[in-house]
Amino acid sequence: MPKSVNRSYSRYTEEAIALFSRLIRAARLERKLSAPLTKS
């Protein structure tokens, strides 16, 4: 397996990634809660 590359991100990029991940997580939770209670 190739060694993973350590990348340095700017502070703004890291902050943006954190915000986006929180948004995505919140949206997934909301969708799961608002979804009908049927098994698929």
SS (H, E, C) 1-40: CCCCCCCCCCHHHHHHHHHHHHHHHHHHHHHHHHCCCCCC
Encoded amino acid at 20, one letter: F
Q: Is residue 34 part of a domain?
A: yes
Structural domains counted in the chain: 1
Residue 40 predicted with pLDDT over 60: no
Residue 31 belongs to domain spanning: 10-39
Q: Is residue 30 part of a domain?
A: yes
Q: Is residue 3 part of a domain?
A: no
Q: Is residue 5 part of a domain?
A: no
How confident is residue 20, by pLDDT bands cut at 50, 70 and 90?
very high
Q: Is residue 33 part of a domain?
A: yes
Q: Is residue 1 part of a domain?
A: no
Global model pTM greater than 0.85:
no
Q: Is residue 4 part of a domain?
A: no
